[in-house]
Amino acid sequence: RAVAAATRPLLGFQAVPASVADTIVVPPGYQAEVLIAWGDALFPDAPAFAQNNDARAQARQFGDNNDGMSFFPLGPDRALLAVNNEYTNYEYLFADGGKALSAGAVAKAQAAHGVSLVELVRKDGKWQANPKGALNRRITATTPMTLSGPAAGHALLKTQADPEGRTALGTFNNCANGQTPWGTYLTCEENFNGYFGSEGKPALDKRAARYGLAAEDAGFGWHKFDERFDLAKHPQEPHRFGWVVEIDPQDPASTPKKRTALGRFKHENAAFTVNKDGRAVVYLGDDERGEHIYRFVSKNKVAPGNDPANRDLLDEGTLYVARFDAREGELKGTGQWLPLVHGQHGLTRENGFADQGEVLIFAREAATRLGATTMDRPEWVAVHPHRSEVYCTLTNNKNRGIKENQPLDGANPRAENPYGQIIRWRPMGDDHGSDSFEWDLFLLAGNPSVHKEGLMAGSANIHPDNMFNSPDGIGFDEAGRLWIQTDGDYSNEKQFAGMGNNQMLCADPASGEVRRFLTGPVACEITGLTFSPDWRTMFVGVQHPGEEGAPSHFPDGGTAIPRSAVLRITRNDGGIIGA
Ligand code: FEO
Ligand code: CA
Ligand code: CA
Ligand code: CA
């Protein structure tokens, strides 16, 4: 029996076809059910979901557009799920589509953002949300947080409301996540720039532009009703966003901490691993065309369990950025981690970096000075559970080969890359603290039906039955299956013909096989994944079904407006997901 188990293929489920249906499809023998959706009650006093719920109601309900999430066991049948609420779609948040914004409407939008912490109970073998859970909590765009680490208290972080530069209000555009072995949750601030704007003429320098800050916001209108978001009045407020925030989910009264040692950029996720020497290593993507991949290595070692010594471990250490050097004519090569340390390699006062705080606050600019490789939008990073391998999705990049700072190279080999790829590296000596690594491309997404040859057809492991575009969320299970989620073009036309709606696939890192596991409803993105400790329940996020007015009524059906939701996926025979 042991021999049979050892030779059983890693992927044990039947592939599902591409789909354009407004529903979830999973393999035969599997079930996908809604665990919790935007607007569901998180507290006994929360009203039932209704589109006209106000800010107060929203602050007591599950937030919108769920993204990365982590499962925290509290006992055999009790757990806590921490879920990011990245942003909100005004077309569904408000009955008028957000046409007549008001202070109350902006307050509701702010309450729809952040993080939702919800207790789960297992009843009749199934995990369910518990709206009476003592640890349930909403963290929103206005929740007080501590700025900690090397940039805390920096002159660049000070504002009128916070002359100490140590207390920021809220977190928003929380994309993906991470989880520490000491039981805390890491939530990553991504496109924070889109919430700032001004009716006036803000003074925006090159540094602000590098982070996409502009007088015109992304359409949220917060600056019109909440002065904090007006760039002309509070030009330093955006410096307090773009961080990784650490949350203690076991203490609903705790103050989240923004860990400035991990750098300021458009954080995607925080892939945590303990190195063989005991130090914490966190791999980080910066999702923007032509931005970079980073690594943080802690100064001190991780103490076992929930030791108070770990509490501020992420405040001290070194942040690095990656350079990928391709072997001539190949899609593989070697690489280096370049340290973002003040005083080294030109990160000096003469070059605009007064101290380590300034290096971290303008990490992108520091990375450019070190010669970091510009990548095709680094999204999630995942560390293999048993092998010294790290995977990162490079989702797509229309600027590749077009912008001068984004030439074709072995790691980013396709002009105007519409499909994306997954890069993989192996640290030298199996040491995640080593400054050198070897890398290759695990896969190139592509369309072999449309492109009969060349790199746009995708790598050899992509075929008409498993093709997809724009890999984004990734994560491993304990057996080493690599789960891949997509946030791509769902037109199902032209160069995306045959790919259907956004989806989730599963890959065998050893053989390279990729198999489609799930397809999502109309105009959604599939993002966020975590497992119960027995690997028999998988939680998967469906974000923004029906965006931009696309015809979705997921998950409620009928004529209901669409809602983002977390799915609970189980096997009818109670088996391990994917096996
Ligand atoms: Fe929020 Fe880069 O995805
Ligand atoms: Ca993403
Ligand atoms: Ca994406
Ligand atoms: Ca998203």
263-281 per-position pLDDT tens digit: 999 999 999 999 999 999 9
Q: Ligand 3 mean position to 378 CA, how many Å?
A: 9
Q: Ligand 2 mean position to 395 CA, how many Å?
A: 9
pLDDT surpassing 90 at residue 1: no
pLDDT computed for residue 6 by the predictor:
58
Q: What does the pLDDT average to over 191-214?
A: 97
Ion ligand 2 nearby residues (CB, 5 A): 379, 472
Ligand 1 contact, 392 CB (< 6 A): no
Distance (Å, whole) CA 447 – CA 467: 6
| Closest protein CA for atom 1 of ligand 1 | 175
Return the number of other C-beta atoms located less than 10 Å from residue 413's C-beta. 18
Q: What does the pLDDT average to over 353-369?
A: 98
pLDDT surpassing 70 at residue 2: no
Distance (Å, whole) CA 231 – CA 219: 15
pLDDT computed for residue 5 by the predictor:
53
pLDDT surpassing 90 at residue 3: no
Q: Ligand 4 mean position to 286 CA, how many Å?
A: 14
pLDDT surpassing 60 at residue 89: yes
Ligand 1 contact, 175 CB (< 6 A): yes
| Percent of the chain at pLDDT exceeding 90 | 98
Task: Note the helical H segments in 226-375.
Answer: 356-361, 363-370
The pTM of the whole model exceeds 0.90 = yes
Q: What does the pLDDT average to over 532-561?
A: 98
Candidates 78, 137, 80, 87; CA nearest to 110 is: 87
Ligand 1 contact, 376 CB (< 6 A): no
Ligand 1 atom with the smallest distance to the CA of 173 is: 1
- pLDDT category of residue 307 using cuts at 50, 70 and 90: confident
Q: What is the pLDDT of residues 419-462, one digit of tens each?
A: 999 999 999 999 999 999 999 999 999 999 999 999 999 999 99
- pLDDT category of residue 185 using cuts at 50, 70 and 90: very high
Candidates 549, 520, 339, 308; CA nearest to 433 is: 339
Note the maximum CA span of the chain: 72
Mean predicted lDDT score pLDDT of the chain: 97
Ligand 1 atom with the smallest distance to the CA of 395 is: 2
Q: What does the pLDDT average to over 496-523?
A: 98
Candidates 468, 465, 464, 445; CA nearest to 455 is: 445
Q: What does the pLDDT average to over 403-413?
A: 98
| Percent of the chain at pLDDT exceeding 70 | 99
The CA distances from residue 190 to 3, 195, 364, 574, in Å, are 46, 11, 13, 36
pLDDT computed for residue 8 by the predictor:
84
Q: What is the pLDDT of residues 136-184, one digit of tens each?
A: 999 999 999 999 999 999 999 999 999 999 999 999 999 999 999 999 9
Ligand 1 atom with the smallest distance to the CA of 377 is: 2
| Higher-scoring residue by pLDDT: 317, 5 | 317
HEC assignment per residue over 213-263: CCCCCCCCCHHHCCHHHECCCCCCHHHHCCCEEEECCCCCCCCCEEEHHHC
Distance (Å, whole) CA 282 – CA 272: 5
Q: What does the pLDDT average to over 386-393?
A: 98
Ligand 1 contact, 286 CB (< 6 A): no
